[in-house]
Chains A and B, each alone.
Chain A
Amino acid sequence: DVKVTQSSRYLVKRTGEKVFLECVQDMDHENMFWYRQDPGLGLRLIYFSYDVKMKEKGDIPEGYSVSREKKERFSLILESASTNQTSMYLCASRSRGRRTEAFFGQGTRLTVV
């Protein structure tokens, strides 16, 4: 079975902290994505990676960075957490081919206080 695993279901962090959200996939997929989901705004793409060490900005990259040192792992980093980054964060992966399914992790609910 296909699996995308996010390291935490729930996180509570303080304003100004550096936060790491980890995502691991076991399908040997080239493409990985980070989204945030907010009521009324839907899913918005933060960053995506199409290969190891490769990354591309999505629609809302400000305040975030990413790291992809290994093919199976894609990390989202909040350099200095702020309350407006309180959200549900979703990781996804997909094979490189253009006509392939995307698979999502279970989500991380991050609260910044």
Chain B
Amino acid sequence: KQEVTQIPAALSVPEGENLVLNCSFTDSAIYNLQWFRQDPGKGLTSLLLIQSSQREQTSGRLNASLDKSSGRSTLYIAASQPGDSATYLCAVESNTGKLIFGQGTTLQVKP
């Protein structure tokens, strides 16, 4: 059974710092991996989708990488801002078409 783990569960950094969020999965047979952002009490906003054949995707200050063989993905946030404070979730698409989520990393960026 696919399991997705995100470490750390919470992270607090000063504004301007570059940071890395980690996501690991137990079964490397995935179709894609997606990173989401969730603000308190709200739904999920899609940030980046990495297909299984890709190594990385970039959008603005965000860069996500994927290493299927080791079962890992990282989300790199450059020059963090207080507006980046949120919970970040990764999800893998299994061969059944379902999305399996990690528990998320709650990020606080202090001014």
List residues of chain A with CB under 8 Å of any chain B CB: 4, 6, 31, 33, 40, 42-43, 45, 48, 50, 58, 88, 90, 92, 98-107, 109
Give the distance in Å from the alpha carbon of A57 to the alpha carbon of B62 in the complex: 34
A48's closest neighbor in chain B, by CB?
Answer: B98
Q: How many A-B residue pairs have CB under 8 A?
A: 55
Contact B41 A101, beta carbon cutoff 8 Å:
no
Contact B32 A99, beta carbon cutoff 8 Å:
yes
Contact A102 B97, beta carbon cutoff 8 Å:
no
Cβ-defined partner of A90 (8 Å) among B43, B46, B97: B43
Give chain B's interface residue range (CB within 8 Å of chain A): 20 to 34
Contact A43 B101, beta carbon cutoff 8 Å:
yes
Give the distance in Å from the alpha carbon of A109 to the alpha carbon of B88 in the complex: 20
Give the distance in Å from the alpha carbon of A58 to the alpha carbon of B31 in the complex: 18
Contact A106 B42, beta carbon cutoff 8 Å:
yes
Give the distance in Å from the alpha carbon of A88 to the alpha carbon of B40 in the complex: 11
Interface bits B76-111 vs A (CB < 8 Å: 1, else 0): 000000000000010101000111011110000000
Chain B residues near A58 (CB-CB < 8 A): 98
Chain A residues near B32 (CB-CB < 8 A): 98-99
Chain B residues near A45 (CB-CB < 8 A): 98-99
Chain A residues near B93 (CB-CB < 8 A): 98
Contact B101 A101, beta carbon cutoff 8 Å:
no
In the assembled complex, how far is the CB of residue A101 from the closest CB belonging to chain B, in whole angstroms? 5
Contact B103 A42, beta carbon cutoff 8 Å:
yes
A108's closest neighbor in chain B, by CB?
Answer: B43
Give the distance in Å from the alpha carbon of A74 to the alpha carbon of B45 in the complex: 20
Contact B34 A101, beta carbon cutoff 8 Å:
yes
28 A–B contacts from the bound complex (CB under 8 Å): A4-B43, A33-B98, A40-B103, A42-B101, A42-B102, A42-B103, A43-B101, A45-B98, A45-B99, A50-B97, A88-B41, A90-B44, A98-B93, A99-B31, A99-B32, A99-B51, A99-B52, A100-B49, A101-B49, A102-B46, A102-B99, A104-B43, A104-B44, A104-B45, A106-B43, A107-B41, A107-B42, A107-B43
